[in-house]
Amino acid sequence: MKTVNVDLGDRSYPIHIGANLIRRPELLAGFVPGKQVCVVTNETVQPLYLDSCVRSLQAAELEVISIILPDGEAYKNLETLNLIFDGLLNARFNRSCTLVALGGGVVGDMTGFAAASYQRGVHFIQLPTTLLSMVDSSVGGKTGVNHALGKNMIGAFYQPRAVIADIGVLSTLPSRELSAGVAEVIKYGLICDREFFEWLESNMERVMAGDVAALAYCVERSCADKSRVVAQDEREGGVRAILNLGHTFGHAIETAQGYGNWLHGEAVGVGMLMAVDLSCRMGLVPHSLLERTKFLVEKARLPHESPAGMTNESFISLMAVDKKVLNGQLRLVLLRSLGEAFVTSDVDPHLLNQTLDAFRSG
């Protein structure tokens, strides 16, 4: 088992990475301070891992309930969040209870926000079951739900007590979701870890074949990269924004398509290519970096053009509600070189349109 520590002062927590961790009662229960535990999962993960998880917690003599949410980004809203509160209140769970998120990013984000809000804050543990949630949403404490007018617009910064990333569970992950996770992995290489980017260029086949050691390394390295950035800027006042490389484009795709039709990682994959493309057009990075990124994105079996029918106008209008927008000005994350990202509002609309043209479908 490897451990990455997320260093946030009195809100620091460990990420444990290894195989079969979900079946280790002492590991899970060690992070539960009280007696009541509620495992929140979704209807897809439930038949696969809920029993193992509940049994591990019951073995530690805890009172365990579970709440099964419908699966998918389309349900990441206040209404579904209320199902968690219903379950907790019906079971009379008190403010010393612990919520465990057993699932992907949607389950993690909603359970985390429920933990932040239930009785104004209870304990929280993450058991991510997708590669995306292991490398992204497990680190940094962003929790929340979507609003019809924008993604992740309602939420809280709320840190878990621990993240337990059981690499074994990735064996049941649909290959489309594995690809979506790899998109964020490639992103870490681009924004802050050139060596990791180069490792991915040599090892992408192993990763895509589900090699446990290669996946564990991806999770460990990605979490270490992300936690280094988050430790500098917990509440996203500055440098943390570089983690959003490709996300402004990606969120526009997700909003345009309706949540859940494109996976978050798929949208980020294309968005990341767009950001690299724009960085090229602005003369910041060489064209070869765009080619290398495209090579990785294709090996990861990710889409590499915009959804059919999506116009430049719809992109630009949807990008205007991004959380990075400041005083009406669009801000984007771009690259200065491989491994070095920055945030800028100095974007030439002409070049932006060229980039959007270049990725238009068909």
Binding status of residue 9 toward its own copies by CB under 8 A: no
Binding status of residue 176 toward its own copies by CB under 8 A: no
Q: How far is the CB of 9 from its own copies (least distance, A)?
A: 13
Question: Which one of residues 20, 90, 311, 361 is an interface residue with its own copies (CB under 8 A)?
Answer: 90
Hey, how many other C-beta atoms are within 10 angstroms of the C-beta on 195?
Answer: 10
Task: Enter the tokens of residue 187.
Answer: 């992103």
Which string of x and - marks every residue 104-123 that binds its own copies (by CB under 8 A)? Answer: ------------xxxxxx--
Q: Which residues are catalytic?
A: 120, 142, 184, 226, 236, 240, 244, 247, 251, 264
Which string of x and - marks every residue 289-328 that binds its own copies (by CB under 8 A)? Answer: -------------------------------xx-x-xxxx
Question: Which one of residues 12, 20, 94, 171 is an interface residue with its own copies (CB under 8 A)?
Answer: 94
Classify residue 163 by burial, with Cβ atoms within 10 Å: 0-12, 13-18, 19+: buried
Q: Long-range contacts of range 311-317, CB-CB < 8 Å, 24 or more positions apart?
A: 312/353, 312/356, 312/357, 312/360, 314/252, 314/256, 315/249, 315/252, 315/256, 315/356, 316/352, 316/356
Q: What is the rounded radius of gyration, in angstroms, for the C-alpha atoms of the chain? A: 20
Residue numbering of the annotated binding site for NAD(+): 71-76, 105-109, 129-130, 142, 151
The answer to whether 112 and 124 have CB atoms below 8 angstroms apart is yes
Classify residue 291 by burial, with Cβ atoms within 10 Å: 0-12, 13-18, 19+: exposed
Region of 128 on the Ramachandran plot (φ > 0 left; ψ -120 to 50 alpha; else beta): beta
Question: Which one of residues 105, 108, 144, 250 is an interface residue with its own copies (CB under 8 A)?
Answer: 144
Binding status of residue 92 toward its own copies by CB under 8 A: yes
SS3 19: coil
Residue type for position 199: W
Query: How many residues belong to the site for its own copies (CB under 8 A)?
Result: 38
Binding status of residue 147 toward its own copies by CB under 8 A: yes
CA dist 157 to 23, 128, 258, Å?
A: 29, 18, 25
Window 191 to 210, contacts with its own copies (CB under 8 A): none
Binding status of residue 271 toward its own copies by CB under 8 A: no
- Our CB check for its own copies shows the closer of 154 and 212 to be 154
Q: How far is the CB of 11 from its own copies (least distance, A)?
A: 13
Q: How far is the CB of 163 from its own copies (least distance, A)?
A: 19
Task: Enter the tokens of residue 354.
Answer: 């060229």
- Our CB check for its own copies shows the closer of 144 and 303 to be 144
Q: Which stretch binds its own copies (CB under 8 A): 21-29, 51-59, 74-82, 348-356?
A: 74-82
Q: How far is the CB of 325 from its own copies (least distance, A)?
A: 5
Indicate the pairing of strand 63-69 with strand 13-18.
Answer: unpaired
The answer to whether 339 and 304 have CB atoms below 8 angstroms apart is no
With tokens 């990420």, the residue in question is 15
Binding status of residue 156 toward its own copies by CB under 8 A: yes
Residue numbering of the annotated binding site: 71-76, 105-109, 129-130, 142, 151, 184, 247, 264
SS3 10: helix
Residues that bind its own copies (CB under 8 A): 34-35, 78, 81-82, 85-86, 89-90, 92, 94-96, 116-121, 142, 144, 147, 149-150, 153-157, 235-236, 320-321, 323, 325-328
